[in-house]
Structure 1
């Protein structure tokens, strides 16, 4: 599985997602610009000693990411998605794409990929979930639906 963070802004969120990727053997893709430096102490602290176990790929832009990862499959996750994440057609090697904390994924990207855009439902009195929490929900459900890797 591939976890993609587009222009993440908060180091501890990215550190927590990196730890998730280490725990699941997922590849972490970071799409620039980042709201921090990759050697940020808060980022490293959130990831603790797991950084050597995370496969991190950096991309200079969203366009560069798509050039390298075509044909995908790419699945997009946004509070503005139409269907719940449980309906996302996950496949081994899928790219699970999440936007930055403040604004999410660009509106034009979501419009162009409406049929592949999903949301994590929220029914309480908040407007969004923490990025790392949303990523964790989606990644573990994707692995569950794929039958978890051997030994999990």
Structure 2
């Protein structure tokens, strides 16, 4: 079982870098769907991911269709959008025998409306007030992936950490 975060045409390198760091910390695969709004050598993106880039499994897709074709079973594809009545934390993400895919839209316009309208059963919402259009993309990705790993009992993640001097030889 693997969790996957997919970013549809991300525009801001810092968001992508922060999400890559979250992916490294949760053993989550990252999918970037072109076109990207930045060069992957961008200093802001590299800085946001710090020195964790070698720990991130990244796959690039030429477009949304190519990404969708790469998914073995779209039953476990979730579209994260404000246009849904289903709350992300109410979704059962506990099955560790399958791969879960969380698709996020670009920072300015989200996912294509026609695509979401064709797949309303896959749409999940993060509750928020109407004071803002949307939460920050990297914050949204962190909320959703940590809900998934929480439901999966943090499988494969370190539940406690000790200072060096506390470790037994």
TM-score, normalised to structure 1, is 0.95
Paired residues, number: 152
Among 88, 103, 108, the alignment partner of 1:97 is 103
Deviation by residue 1:8-30 (Cα, 9 ceiling, x = unmatched): 00000000000000000000000
1:81 aligns with 2:84: yes
State TM-score, norm by structure 2. Answer: 0.86
In the alignment, structure 2 segments of 5+ residues that lack a partner are 160-169
Q: What is the root-mean-square deviation in Å for CA atoms of aligned residues?
A: 1.2
Runs ≥4 residues deviating over 3 A: none
Please tell me whether residue 71 in structure 1 is matched to residue 73 in structure 2. Answer: yes
Extract unaligned runs of 5+ from structure 1: none
- Other-structure match for 2:165: none
Which stretch shows the higher mean deviation, 87-96 or 100-109?
A: 87-96
Helix, strand or coil at the partner of 1:39:
coil
What aligned pairs does 1:1-152 form with structure 2 within 5 A after superposition? 1-72=3-74, 73-90=76-93, 91-92=95-96, 93-123=99-129, 125-150=131-156, 151-152=158-159
